Amino acid sequence: MSTTAGQYDRMQLERLADAAHFRRVEQLHRRAFGWVRQDYIPLGIHVVDPSHAAGFRYDDWLNPEPLLDMQIRFLIDTLRVGSDVLPVVAINHTGDALLPSMFGAKLHMPRDTSATLQDVGPTPLPMLDDIEQAESLPLPSMTSGIMPQLETIVTCYRRHLPAWVHVIAPMPMGPLSTAMELRGSGMLVELVDQPAACAKLISLCAELQSRVTNRFYEVLGSRPDEGHITNFAVASPGVRLGDDSICHLSGEMIERFCAPAYSRVNRRCGGVGHVHFCSLADSRFEHIYPALTNMAEVSIVSSQFAFEYYEAHLEELRGRLAVESFYGDALRYCIERFGSFADWASQFVPRYKDESGLVLYCQVDSVDEGREIWARWQEAHGA
Which tens digit of pLDDT belongs to each residue from 310-323? 999 999 999 999 99
Domain containing 237 equals 3-380
Q: What is the rounded average pLDDT of the residues 245-256?
A: 97
Q: Which amino acid is at 291?
A: A
pTM > 0.85: yes or no? yes
Q: Which amino acid is at 157?
A: Y
Quickly list DSSP for 29-53: HHHHHTT---S---EEEEE--GGGG
Residue pair 32/359 in contact by the 8 Å Cβ criterion: yes
Work out the end-to-end distance of the chain between its first and last CA atoms, rounded to an integer number of angstroms: 40
In the predicted model, is pLDDT for residue 11 greater than 60?
A: yes
pLDDT at 269 over 80: yes
- At position 274, the amino acid (one-letter code) is H
Burial class of residue 219 (count of CB atoms within 10 Å of its CB; 0-12, 13-18, 19+): middle
Other C-beta atoms lying within 10 Å of the C-beta of residue 142: 15
pLDDT at 109: 85
Answer yes or no: is pLDDT of 373 > 90.
Answer: yes
Model confidence over 21-37: pLDDT tens digits?
999 999 999 999 999 99
- Of 42 and 269, which is predicted with more confidence? 42
Q: Which of 120, 121, 6 is nearest to 61 (CA)?
A: 121
Helix axes 341-352, 306-317, angle to 10 degrees: 10
Q: Over the stretch 103-162, which tens digit does the pLDDT of each residue have?
A: 999 999 877 665 565 566 889 999 999 999 999 999 999 999 999 999 999 999 999 999
pLDDT at 13 over 50: yes
Residue pair 288/247 in contact (Cβ under 8 Å)? The answer is: yes
Q: What is the dihedral of CA 147, 151, 153, 159, to 10 degrees?
A: 180
In this structure, what are the phi and psi dihedrals at residue 309, rounded to the nearest 5 degrees?
-65, -40
Residue 302 has pLDDT above 70, yes or no: yes
Q: Identify the CA nearest to 153 among candidates 58, 60, 64.
A: 64
- Average pLDDT in the chain: 93
- Give the model's pLDDT for residue 112: 65
How far apart, in whole angstroms, are the C-alpha atoms of residue 203 and residue 197? 10
pLDDT at 69: 86
At 1, is the pLDDT very low, low, confident or very high (cuts 50, 70, 90)?
Answer: very low
Q: Which of 13, 38, 17 has the alpha carbon at shortest distance from 28?
A: 38
pLDDT for res 126: 96
E strand or H helix at 98, and its extent?
helix 98-103
Mean pLDDT of 246-264: 97
pLDDT at 93: 85
pLDDT over threshold 90, residue 54? no
Residue 104, φ and ψ in degrees, nearest 5: 110, 5
Helix or strand (DSSP H, E) at 90: strand 88-90
By the 8 A CB rule, do 229 and 236 touch? yes
pLDDT in tens, 173-229: 999 999 999 999 999 999 999 999 999 999 999 999 999 999 999 999 988 777 799
Domains of the chain: total = 1
CB within 8 Å of 3: residues ≥ 6 apart: none
* DSSP conformation class of 362: E
Given a cut of 80, is residue 61 above it in pLDDT?
Answer: yes
Q: Residue 97 contacts by C-beta under 8 Å, 6 or more apart in sequence?
A: 107, 121, 122, 124, 146
Residues of the chain with pLDDT > 90, as a percent, come to 80
State how far the Cα of 161 lies from the Cα of 9, in Å rounded to an integer. Answer: 10
Q: Has residue 15 got a pLDDT over 70?
A: yes
Pick left, alpha or beta for residue 52 (phi over 0 → left; psi -120 to 50 → alpha; otherwise beta).
alpha
Of the listed ranges 57-66, 283-292, 357-366, the least confidently predicted one is 57-66
Q: What does the DSSP assignment read for 122-189?
A: -EEPP--SSGGGGGGPPPPPTTSTTHHHHHHHHHHHHHHS-TTSEEEPSPPBPHHHHHHHHH-TTHHH
User: Looking at residue 173, which CATH number applies to its domain?
Assistant: 3.20.20.210
